[in-house]
A and B are shown apart, each in its own frame.
Chain A
Amino acid sequence: MGRVKLERKYAVWGWLFVAPASLMIFILSFFPMIQAFILSLQSGRGNNLRFAGMRNYLRLLEDEQFRAAVCNVFTYLIIQVPIMLILALILATILNEQTLKLKGLFRTLVFLPCVAGLVSAATIFKSIFSIDGLVNIMLLKLHIITSPVSFLSDPVWAKAVIIIVITWRWTGYNTIFYLAGFQTIETSIYEAARIDGANAAQQFFKITMPLLRPVILLTTIMSTNGTLQIFDEVRTITGTSGGPGNATLTISQYIYNLSFLYSPQFGYAAAASYTILFMVAVLSFIQMKIGDKE
Chain B
Amino acid sequence: MNNAMKKVRPAVAFMYAFLTLIALVSAFPFVWMALASTNKSVDIVRGRFFFGLNLLENWSALFSAYPMASSFLNSLRNAVVGTIVSLFVCSLAGYGFQVYRDKAKDRLMAVLLLSMMVPFASVMIPLFRMFSQAKLLNTTLGIILPSVSTAFLIFFFRQNSAGFPMEIVQAARVDGLSEFGIYLRIYVPVMAATFAAAAIIQFMGVWNNYLWPLIILLKKEAQTLPIMLVSITSGYTTDYGILMLAVTISTLPTVILFFTQQRRFVSGILGSVK
Please, which residues of chain A bring their CB within 8 A of the CB of B220?
A: none
Cβ 8 A contact of B115, one of A14, A29, A215: A29
Cβ 8 A contact of A106, one of B23, B146, B243, B251: B23
Among A32, A110, A112, chain B packs the most CB atoms within 10 A around the CB of A32
Segment of B56-64, B66-74, B148-156, B188-196 engaged in the interface with chain A: B148-156
Flag if B250 contacts A120 (CB, 8 Å): yes
The distance from the CB of B136 to the nearest CB of chain A, in whole angstroms, is: 11
Chain A interface residue count, CB cutoff 8 Å, equals 93
Flag if A176 contacts B269 (CB, 8 Å): yes
Cβ 8 A contact of B273, one of A32, A91, A113, A218: A218
Cβ-based interface call for A185 (8 A): no
Bound form: Cα–Cα A276–B117 in Å:
11
Cβ-based interface call for B54 (8 A): no
Residue of A nearest to B153 (CB): A21
Cβ-based interface call for B65 (8 A): no
Task: Take A24-B148, A121-B29, A123-B243 as given contacts and tell me if A229 and B119 are in contact as well, using a CB distance cutoff of 8 Å.
Answer: yes
Flag if B262 contacts A124 (CB, 8 Å): no
Cβ-based interface call for A76 (8 A): no
Per-position binary interface string of chain B over residues 47-58, scored 1 when its CB falls under 8 Å from any chain A CB and 0 otherwise: 100000000000
Within 8 A of B (CB), among A197-232: 200, 215, 218, 225, 228-229, 231-232
Bound form: Cα–Cα A239–B149 in Å:
31
Bound form: Cα–Cα A112–B254 in Å:
10
Task: Take A18-B96, A134-B47, A252-B121 as given contacts and tell me if A113 and B26 are in contact as well, using a CB distance cutoff of 8 Å.
Answer: yes
Flag if B122 contacts A108 (CB, 8 Å): no
Per-position binary interface string of chain A over residues 80-120, scored 1 when its CB falls under 8 Å from any chain B CB and 0 otherwise: 00000001001100110100100001101111111111111
Task: Take A229-B119, A252-B211 as given contacts and tell me if A14 and B96 are in contact as well, using a CB distance cutoff of 8 Å.
Answer: yes
Segment of A57-65, A154-162, A277-285 engaged in the interface with chain B: A277-285
Among A17, A20, A132, chain B packs the most CB atoms within 10 A around the CB of A17
A residues neighboring B (CB under 8 Å):
9-11, 13-18, 20-22, 24-25, 28-33, 35-36, 39, 87, 90-91, 94-95, 97, 100, 105-106, 108-121, 123-128, 130, 132-134, 137-138, 141, 168, 172-173, 176-177, 180, 184, 200, 215, 218, 225, 228-229, 231-232, 235-236, 239, 251-252, 255-256, 259-260, 266, 269-270, 273-274, 276-277, 280-281, 284
B residues neighboring A (CB under 8 Å):
11, 15, 18-19, 22-23, 25-27, 29-30, 32-33, 36, 45-47, 89-90, 92-93, 95-97, 99-100, 102, 105, 108, 112, 115, 117-130, 145-146, 148-151, 154, 179-180, 183, 204, 207-208, 210-211, 214-215, 225-226, 229-230, 233-234, 238, 240, 243-244, 247, 250-251, 254-255, 257-259, 262, 265-266, 269-270, 273-274
